[in-house]
Amino acid sequence: MRQRISTGSPFEERIGYSRAVVCDGWVFVAGTTGYDYATMTMPEGVAEQCANALATIAKALGEASATLDDVVRVRYILTDAAEWPACWPMVSEAFARARPAATMIVAGLQEPEMKIEIEVTARLPG
């Protein structure tokens, strides 16, 4: 059984992906950037983008009956390594209990205003 979760992002429709897919007890959350999907606006700062991405991820996990505490793997993709420390307070709080395996990568992202993208894998509780 496969459950698909959407945020309603126009990128999901245009590109052909789901925000998250639940399958066999796992939740795979797609790379998530800092858009506020209610307004389709992107904050300028990496910290604000990180906060938005984490909120979108938490919402998708909630729809899958999971939380940030169930995350076992996280990948952070930033366009500038020098901006990574600005995200540490938020990511350390978000994953304080889960302490997932983590990787930080520097790469170009889809749109020039994007500074961070976060991808997680979670295991459903129980």
Query: pLDDT digit string (tens) for 53-70?
Result: 999 999 999 999 999 999
Domain count, the chain: 1
Q: Give the model's pLDDT for residue 126.
A: 83
Which CATH number fits the domain that encloses residue 100?
Answer: 3.30.1330.40
Q: pLDDT at residue 11 above 90?
A: no
Residues 6+ apart with CB under 8 A from 82: none
The 10s digit of each residue's pLDDT in 61-98 is 999 999 999 999 999 999 999 999 999 999 999 999 99
Residue 7, token pair as written in the block = 């945020």
Residues of the domain holding 89: 2-123
Residue 3 has phi, psi (to 5 degrees) of -115, 130
Q: Give the model's pLDDT for residue 19.
A: 95
